[in-house]
Structure 1
Amino acid sequence: MPYAPAEGARLYYEEAGTGHPILFIHEFGADHREWEDQMRFFSREYRCIAYSARGYPPSEVPSDPKLYGQDFAVADAVAVLKHLGIEKAHIVGLSMGGFATLLFGIRHPGMATALVPAGAGSGSPKQEQAAFRAACQERGEKLIAQGWKSEMAEETGHSPTRIQLKKKDPRGWAAYMERLAQHSGLGTGLTMKHYQGERDSIFDWEAELRQMQVPTLLVVGDEDWPCIETNVWLKSVLPNAGLWMQPRTGHAINLEEPAAFNREVAAFFATVEKGRWRLG
């Protein structure tokens, strides 16, 4: 099995296709398999890489809480690219991965040819941050103690921003739930506590975001209510960003609407690669 070395963990990855690289960064409730529809579609013209974050088998699951957090999330993305000898890539992330995608653009703009942060921003509004962090700590402890073979999986799959997938694609939802049940309670619990529950508010990055020139496509579903406010704000501060909002869609937009997601992201990449993304 292919692994990329990172600080405190080896990261499992898969790749397909040739061409300009695309790195896919998954959300909290998923792993590298979340991107299968995108790997198949984009690998026709691109070199596609998807990896599982630390704490998500077959990547290693560190037991030390100090080996989790937003800094490791960005450093791990860099580690995968460097292991593969990739100097620059398009970076695509969903939710927790979308957060890492934005922070990657701030910290490593020279390595990013384009950014697609999708469904990023839950818990970032200042009026929500304290409650969000407290909920993450509680949920993380529960995952460590009970794992996903408990009511945690059912609560996640039936949450207000995920029930859309079940309604639209019951088979896809069932496959998602099967993958969810396979996750490490320890790894996801420590991720929830020390990455999700201790990460910055995106609003804290305003000064850096206003300076970031990397072409960016912000993506959000119109029923992904925890993320809408943050994405509208991001559109107002990022100087080289567009915002695409998909109707009747919740949080897992690439699973709910794979054809629309692939189409919009492909069009964005094509425009960037032609040097025509920036207006004016």
Structure 2
Amino acid sequence: MPLAEAPGARLSFEATGTGTPIVFVHETAADQRSWEPQVRWFSRFHKCITYNSRGYAPSERSAEPADFRTLATDIGHVMDAAGVDQAFIVGLSMGAYFAMHFGLAHPERVCGMVLAGLGTGSDDITQFRTATRAVARAVRSQGIKAFVDQVVDSSHRVQLQNKDVRGWNEFLMHLSDLDPHGAADLMEFCHATRPPIYDFEAMLHGTKIPTLIAVGDEDTPCIPPALFLKRTIPRSGLWICPKTGHAINLEEPGLFNRAVQDFIYAVQQGAWTDRDPRSLAKTVVRVMER
């Protein structure tokens, strides 16, 4: 795979297909392979770019652990290496957090963004940071199995396990491949220090980037953040996938692909516009004066 040059690390990426570019940004418990159901479909019409974040082999670990700003900026370095000036950015979980920050920092490079499963920990940031640091310590001392054990018992992961045994086993196999040091660095120096998404309300309210917010209806930690994003981002839409947990692109790849495809088409046709201010009224029935 080619490598993108970024300050402090080289990042492995892959580009497939031609057309309007889409950059897919993976979650913490996976790498670029998790986007295979999307690349197989969208590469028929688009240039699909996937990459592994720092510490996810064969991408390099930074000598100095990276924070969320550095990891978000890496999206631009991958785009540069792929010869792409502007793209749709599709992120899941951690990848959605990076996509959001890249869009806020570089709106001129983003045609639109899909923020899926974004916001875990935002509603109890102290507990989230404490738990994340504990998992990072366990991964450093026990290896990647400590992370696998954490994911297996997660309330928003059992949905994939119940729906798709083969998909679940493949997910666990890929998760078991991850470098424990890279994963622990990410948890300790990015996730355990990143601000909750609510801290960026003013910036999100001011963005004009067309945005699709996607969440599974059983991804409980991400539902309040999804509603917040819908209320805050003027040019946004909210898609809730029923009977679905966190790995929405793997659990329901057909539905997810259709939602993303419809979003991209609407943006390209100029039909993904700001919310009509009349829809912001707090009541649906007006009191009529006599």
Q: Is TM (by shorter chain) over 0.5?
A: yes
Q: Any idea what SS the aligned residue of 2:57 has?
A: coil
Amino acid at match of 1:119: G
> Displacement of 1:142 after TM fit?
1.3
Residue of structure 2 in register with 1:4 after alignment: 4
2:68 to 67, 70, 74: 70
State the distance in 2 between where 1:185 and 1:63 align: 15
Structure 1 residue 151, shift from structure 2 partner: 4.2
The equivalences for 1:29-40 within 5 A come to 29-40=29-40
The separation in 1 between residues aligned to 2:170 and 2:249, in whole angstroms, is 14
Q: Give distance in 1, aligned partners of 2:208 and 2:99.
A: 14
Q: 1:183 deviation in Å?
A: 0.3
Judge conservation of contact 1:124–1:203 (CA < 8 Å) in 2: yes
Shift of 1:62: 2.8
1:129-177, Cα deviation, whole Å (9 max, x unpaired): 01101111111111122221x3431330231100100100000000000
Match among 62, 66, 91 for residue 93 of structure 1: 91
Using the alignment, how far apart are the partners of 1:146 and 1:25 within structure 2?
A: 27
2:182 matched residue in structure 1: 187
CA RMSD of aligned residues (A): 1.0
Secondary structure of the residue that 1:244 maps to in structure 2? strand
Q: CA deviation at 1:63?
A: 4.5
Corresponding residue of 2:118 = 120
Q: Judge conservation of contact 2:138–2:146 (CA < 8 Å) in 1.
A: no
Aligned-residue identity in percent? 43
How many pairs align? 275
Distance 2:104 2:37 in 1: 28
CA separation in 2, counterparts of 1:107 and 1:2? 26
Quick one: which of 157, 160, 171 aligns to 2:155?
160
Q: Which residue of 1 aligns with 2:50?
A: 50
The structure with the larger Rg is 2
CA contact (8 A) 2:160 2:167 kept: yes
Aligned to 2:246: 251
CA distance in 2, matches of 1:20, 1:192: 33
Q: Distance in 2 between matches of 1:5 and 1:131?
A: 36
For the 8 Å contact 1:55–1:62, the answer to whether it is kept is yes
Aligned counterparts of 2:231 and 2:83: Cα–Cα separation in 1: 35
Tell me, in whole angstroms, the C-alpha distance in 2 between the residues paired with 1:164 and 1:115: 25
Report the counterpart of residue 18 of structure 1 in structure 2.
18
Give the Cα separation in 2 of the matches to 1:237 and 1:152: 33
Give 3-state SS (helix, strand or coil) of 1:106's partner.
Answer: helix
CA contact (8 A) 2:8 2:63 kept: no
Length-normalised TM-score, structure 2: 0.93
C-alpha distance 136-155 of structure 1, shift in aligned 2 (>3 A): closer
Number of the residue aligned with 1:82: 80
- Point out the more displaced range, 150-159 or 111-120: 150-159
CA distance in 1, matches of 2:61, 2:106: 26
Aligned equivalent of 1:141, options 130, 137, 145: 137
**How far does residue 234 in structure 1 lie from its aligned partner after superposition?**
0.8
Are the equivalent residues in 2 in contact too, given 1:145–1:185 (CA < 8 A)? no
CA contact 1:63–1:186 (8 Å) conserved in 2: no
- 1:61 Cα deviation (Å)? 2.0
List alignment gaps of at least 5 residues for structure 1. Answer: none
Does the 8 Å contact 1:27/1:94 carry over to 2?
Answer: yes
| 1:243 partner amino acid | L
Q: Which amino acid aligns with 1:185?
A: P
The alignment partner of 2:23 has SS state of strand
